[in-house]
């Protein structure tokens, strides 16, 4: 399973990259705004910087919602760096844009996926990734993990190459359950990745080893 980090924060991207486990980055307009990035030039520059820091696929989301505008914007984003993946919302014009970029060999990530039918449509249109939002489904008392399972079954039935990129991750348990089901990628805040490290028995075991090692000095 690939690990992406879901942030536009450069320090957190560096930290995950330095950990040696990072396979890519996802962003969205809300995450970019959180970092105070605004204006076309600043946005393009920020994506360029992210591409210089992190290896792997870097999702850059279009801000427009009509076909013509998404094509123009997506082409500009794709021109920044070969690792850019154009992130397109799951709307009717978005499906058409996915097909356009697929025909042009530009990688895409279809975002705001909340149903298996939406994932199927995005895969049919040639999306490289679909991003089902687990946490936001859990927030409204719908089992987000069940959606990952449904998409896994459908993509396996027809051997779609589209990768399931589990998004809206809120906890290390989301990551573990995605790995059990067979999501191809999990994109997560840094905190959830780092929480995978933690176990009290590791801490107490290490404290004991360090104490015993001192006796051997
Ligand atoms: O990048 C999309 C997704 O991961 C958003 O997560 O926490 O805003 O639901 P969240």
Confidence of residue 194 (pLDDT cuts 50, 70, 90): very high
Predicted pLDDT of residue 217 = 80
CB 170 within 8 A of CB 205: no
Q: How far is the CA of 20 from the centre of ligand 1 (A)?
A: 23
- 148 φ, ψ (degrees, to nearest 5): -60, -40
Output the CA torsion 111→113→118→120 (10° steps). 80
Predicted pLDDT of residue 63 = 97
87 is catalytic: yes
pLDDT in tens, 43-98: 999 999 999 999 999 999 999 999 999 999 999 999 999 999 999 999 999 999 99
Which residue from 209, 208, 215, 175 is spatially nearest to 191, judged by alpha carbons? 175
Q: Check whether 21 has a pLDDT greater than 90.
A: yes
Q: How far is the CA of 187 from the centre of ligand 1 (A)?
A: 9
CB 74 within 8 A of CB 101: yes
Q: How far is the CA of 90 from the centre of ligand 1 (A)?
A: 15
Confidence of residue 201 (pLDDT cuts 50, 70, 90): very high
Cα 208 vs. chain centroid, distance in angstroms? 38
State the chain's mean pLDDT as an integer.
Answer: 97
- Which of 135, 169, 174, 187 to probe ligand 1 with, by most ligand atoms within 8 A of CB? 135
pLDDT in tens, 88-120: 999 999 999 999 999 999 999 999 999 999 999
Residue 133 DSSP symbol:
B
């Amino acid at each position: 399973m690939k690990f992406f980090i879901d942030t536009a924060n450069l320090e957190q991207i560096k930290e995950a990259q330095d950990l040696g486990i990072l396979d890519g980055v996802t962003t969205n307009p809300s995450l970019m705004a959180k970092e105070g990035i605004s204006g076309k030039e600043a946005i393009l520059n920020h994506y360029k910087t992210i591409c210089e820091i992190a290896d792997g696929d870097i999702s850059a989301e279009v801000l427009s919602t009509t076909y013509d505008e998404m094509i123009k914007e997506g082409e500009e984003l794709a021109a920044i760096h070969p690792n850019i993946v154009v992130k397109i919302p799951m709307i009717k014009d978005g499906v058409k844009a996915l097909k356009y970029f697929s025909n042009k060999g530009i990688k895409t990530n279809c975002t705001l996926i909340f149903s298996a039918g939406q994932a199927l449509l995005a895969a049919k249109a040639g999306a490289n990734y679909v991003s089902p939002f687990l946490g936001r489904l859990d927030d409204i008392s719908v089992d987000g993990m069940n959606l990952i399972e449904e998409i896994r079954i459908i993509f396996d039935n027809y051997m779609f190459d589209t990768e399931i990129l589990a998004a809206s991750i809120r906890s290390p348990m989301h990551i573990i359950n995605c790995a059990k089901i067979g999501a191809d990628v999990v994109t997560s805040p840094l905190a959830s990745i780092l929480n995978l490290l933690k176990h009290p028995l590791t801490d107490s075991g290490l404290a004991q080893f360090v104490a015993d090692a001192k006796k051997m000095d």
